[in-house]
Amino acid sequence: MGDHGIEHRRILPVAERLHAEPGCAGRGVTIAFIDSGFYAHPDLVTPRNRILAYHDIFAPENGVAALERADVSSWHGMMTSVVAAGNGALSEGRFRGLAWEANVVLVKVGSAHRIVHDDIRKGIAWVIAHREQYGIRVLNISCGGDYEESYLTGSLSRAADDATREGIVVVAAAGNAGHEAAHNVLPPASAPSVIAVGGLDDGGAGERSWNYHSSYGLTLDGLQKPEIIAPAIWLAAPILPGTPTAAQAQLLSLLDRARDEDLPGLLVQHAGVDPDLDAIAGREPYLVRQLAAAKLQDQKVISGHYKHVDGTSFAAPIVSSVVAQMLEANPRLSPQQCRRILMKTARGLPGIALERQGWGVVQPRAAVAAARAA
């Protein structure tokens, strides 16, 4: 059973914020994800397990069963894959991705502490080698390399372009360095054929548009990046089950919904989850509610199962999920056609510099309609 928390009134699902096409869900399309680690989250495996394969470049012998063991490296890839393809199983369908019926392939290329330039390349090479086996049509890369490089000589950029030539639409996060002096887009997002995704701050409700501090500018080869932007903040993403963070979020969600007379009992039942709440277990209800509300906001908790996150790491999966919708509508589209449609149907935003937004914010419904007509 899903749950509904205090933040639900302020943070809308991506489908509502972008007025997405409701008839497409990425059916028959496989999205591959390259990231630091993954987890077999209920939003991906229930009621049907849509994880077709898992590959760990450091431990190739590990199978899909390894995804049932959560560790700190599992967080990022779990969130990016669920933002794109989760079905909202733990939110009664509310916080589902636009490609909520797509299949996924998960490729681990790093850890929570580090992802190395050449390991991303190795992950791309594995995806290319297994594209036909798993029907991979889209590749989401929510991580970046260590340094700039020309696509003419750089191995990571060339690998990304190779994937495009093999019929895979490659989508990559532009990065989050737009507030720094050196705000360049790094590979693989800097490669010519890759759709680099920058960020938009829509306030969580899709009603206003502010700039987000995503990376932008000219690559070493003189290409302007990013091509497109998508919401990069106030995005619902899953909390890793079985962690202290999950236990705390579930307790805060319970307290938020409980009657005053039930608060003391709940705090006793969940003693040890949060020392601050333990310390006021016998105090007046209004004090408990004040502390719980402050923690909900500080921990970015939406409900017992979701928190809100930010970064172009989560804008890129939104675009990847739109591509999956487009390919469901028209499986014959080439990567070049998908790229062109996304850019032609994007909506430019006033008040945001052109070099920061590219062709503008992604428009899922228009992109799917153009895909059908192509």
In a domain, 90, yes or no: yes
247-263, pLDDT tens digit by residue?
999 999 999 999 999 99
In a domain, 3, yes or no: no
Q: Single out the residue in 278, 300, 322 at which a domain terminates.
A: 300
Same domain, 140 and 273: no
Query: 258 and 224, same structural domain?
Result: no
DSSP 167: T
User: Count of CB atoms within 10 A of residue 293's CB?
Assistant: 14
Running DSSP on this structure, what letter comes out for residue 66? G
Final residue in a domain of this structure, among 279, 300, 321: 300
Number of domain units in the chain: 2
Q: Residue 1 falls within a domain, yes or no? A: no
Determine the pLDDT at residue 184.
Answer: 92
Q: Does residue 360 register a pLDDT over 50?
A: yes
Parallel/antiparallel/unpaired status of strands 224-225 and 217-218: antiparallel
CA distances from 346 to 124, 265, 330, 358 (A): 27, 52, 19, 9
Q: Are residues 294 and 150 in the same domain?
A: no
Question: Is the same domain home to 129 and 176?
Answer: yes
Assign residue 41 the CATH number of its domain. 3.40.50.200
Residue 29: the pLDDT is: 98
The answer on 325 and 226 residing in a single domain is yes
Answer for the pair 12, 206: CB distance below 8 angstroms, yes or no.
yes
Which pLDDT value is given to residue 4? 37
| Residue 152 near residue 222, CB atoms below 8 Å | no
Instruction: Say yes or no: 49 and 181 in one domain.
Output: yes
For the chain, state the CA radius of gyration. 21
Instruction: Write out the residue range of the structural domain in which residue 263 sits.
Output: 244-300
Domain assignment of residue 332, yes or no? yes
Q: Are residues 325 and 193 in the same domain?
A: yes
Tokens for 24, please give them: 């497409």
What does the alpha-carbon distance between residue 53 and residue 49 come to, in Å, rounded to a whole number? Answer: 11
Q: Are residues 248 and 232 in the same domain?
A: no
Nearest-angstrom CA–CA distance, 142 and 34: 7
What pLDDT was estimated at residue 179? 86
pLDDT single digits (tens) 44-96: 999 999 999 999 999 999 999 999 999 999 999 999 999 999 999 999 999 99
Do 250 and 330 belong together in one domain? no
* Spatial distance between the Cα atoms of 373 and 174, rounded to a whole number of angstroms: 29
Share of the chain above pLDDT 70, in %: 98
User: CB within 8 A of 274, min separation 6: which ones?
Assistant: 248, 251, 252, 295
pLDDT category of residue 228 using cuts at 50, 70 and 90: very high
The reply to whether 259 and 368 lie within a common domain is: no
Residue 252 lies in a domain: yes
Q: State the average pLDDT over residues 205-209.
A: 87
pLDDT at 243: 94
Which of 49-53, 176-180, 368-372 is the least confident region? 176-180
Domain match, 132 and 273 both: no
Residue 364 lies in a domain: yes
Give me the amino acid identity at 366.
A
Beta strand spans in the chain (E): 30-35, 51-56, 103-108, 136-141, 169-173, 195-201, 210-211, 217-218, 224-225, 228-231, 235-238, 306-309
> Where are the extended beta strands (E) located within 42-115?
51-56, 103-108
pTM confidence score: 0.94
**Domain identity same for 30 and 79:** yes
Distances (CA, A) of 148 to 145, 159, 160, 319, 357: 8, 15, 14, 23, 20
Say how many C-beta atoms besides its own lie within 10 A of residue 47's C-beta. 7
Query: Average pLDDT in the 322-341 region?
Result: 98
The chain-wide mean pLDDT, for the chain, equals 94
Encode pLDDT of 2-31 as tens digits: 443 334 447 999 999 999 999 999 999 999
Distance CA 149, CA 118 (A): 12
What is the Cα–Cα distance from 202 to 17, expressed in whole angstroms?
Answer: 8
Evaluate whether residue 2 is within a structural domain.
Answer: no
For the residues 178-202, what does the mean pLDDT come to?
94
